Copies of this chain bind each other. A is one copy, B any other.
Amino acid sequence: MVRTRLTASERHAQLVQAAVTAFAQGGYAGTTTDQVARIAGVSQPYVIRLFGSKQELFLATTRHAGDRVQAIWRAAAEKDPTLPGLGAAYKELLAERDLLVVLLHGFAAAGDPVLGDAVRACYGELFFLVRELTGASAEEVRDFFAAGMLITVLGAMRVLGADTVPMQPWMTELLGTLPYSEE
């Protein structure tokens, strides 16, 4: 191993990246800090030392996912600041499907008070960002988010994104009419 050492912030970022991958598969409770550590190639106790606790690691991970979605939408709005414009960015989001799935796990885990607060704040930010970028009405934004949630769930179910499951009739019917998701 000629692996050179990283600075704390580099390692931090790398671990968040690994955590996105790991948590997307197993969710918060279903993922071990050791799995995250292995992906990043460090020891499990070091992960805890850098983040303080598993919960902090998960919070950092969902925050990162939210920020990444924001960044992608901001970039999309520079070309076309409309809802279909942002919707087109779902192609890129599905390319990083783990981002969406991690967020979904966060939403599902909102029963936990502290995770819930974080996740609701994240969602609120996204809502206002879309309103601000597009100037669309509340109704239109609501439909946009509804479609987004459907895409996210279909991503989590391996119906959309990479390495999808064999197609079933209902999937083709649904996907045939799905906006924002053409490849």
Contact = CB atoms under 8 A, between A and B. Distances in A.
11 contacts: A26-B111, A27-B28, A29-B29, A30-B109, A120-B158, A120-B159, A124-B170, A138-B173, A138-B174, A146-B149, A149-B150
A16 interface: no
Nearest to A139: B177
Interface stretch (A43-51, A61-69, A100-108): A100-108
Interface in A127-183: 127-128, 138-139, 141-143, 145-147, 149-150, 152-153, 156-159, 165, 168-171, 173-174, 176-178
Interface of A: 24-30, 101, 104-105, 107-111, 116, 119-120, 123-124, 127-128, 138-139, 141-143, 145-147, 149-150, 152-153, 156-159, 165, 168-171, 173-174, 176-178
